[in-house]
Amino acid sequence: MHLKELKSLLSENADRHFRIRLPDGDAIPLSFHVTEIGRVHKTFFDCGGTRRETETCQLQIWVGEDYNHRIETGKMAGILEKGQAVIPDDSVPVEIEYEDRVISQYTITGHEITAEAVILRLTHKHTECLAPELCGLPAIGRIPAIGGKSSCCAPGQAC
């Protein structure tokens, strides 16, 4: 889900609770806090030597001992508006960082709207080989290379 979609979802459902469901179906405890909203820009080289970039909006979720704490959709929309100072582009994907024994990053795979709540459904974030042709792997959806190229190496070329 992109930031623009999340903002729209929250504004269209301003009178509901805001909830998050993990990939295994368990819910993040209702007393969670959004402790950070940030723009994460990553510039890197893949295993084939291609320079790539990604940019995301990352929400860090934390559960403390404040068991009566609740975030409503209106409050969450306000948090996202404050983040606009560092994330001016609403077209970036949103990721959730959450610690449950280990710190994990999740992408938003969908949502549910009930009479009481907007529930984000998360999925695990995965690693992948971005130069499968060099590793003898089948082609998969890849992060675009800087400059729009999908890879600097073509089969049969020296890299």
pLDDT at 69: 85
Instruction: Report the b/e string of 106-144 with b at 16+ CB within 10 A.
Output: bbbeebeeeeebbbbbbeeeeeeebbbbbeeeeeeebee
Q: Are 149 and 50 in contact (CB under 8 A)?
A: yes
- Report the SS3 class of residue 9: helix
**Domain edges within the chain:** 3-127
Predicted pLDDT of residue 119: 98
Q: How much helix, strand and coil, in percent to the nearest 5, is found in the chain?
A: 20, 40, 40
Angle of helix 73-82 relative to helix 3-12, nearest 10 degrees, comes to 140
Q: Per residue of the chain (159 residues), what is the pLDDT tens digit?
A: 999 999 999 999 998 999 999 999 999 999 999 999 999 999 999 988 999 999 999 999 999 888 888 899 999 999 999 999 999 899 999 999 999 889 999 999 999 999 999 999 999 998 888 888 888 877 666 566 565 544 444 444 443
pLDDT at residue number 24: 96
Q: What H or E segment, with its residue span, contains residue 2? A: none
Residue 150 CA to residue 153 CA, distance in Å, equals 9
Tokens of 44: 């890197």
- So what's the pLDDT on residue 142? 57
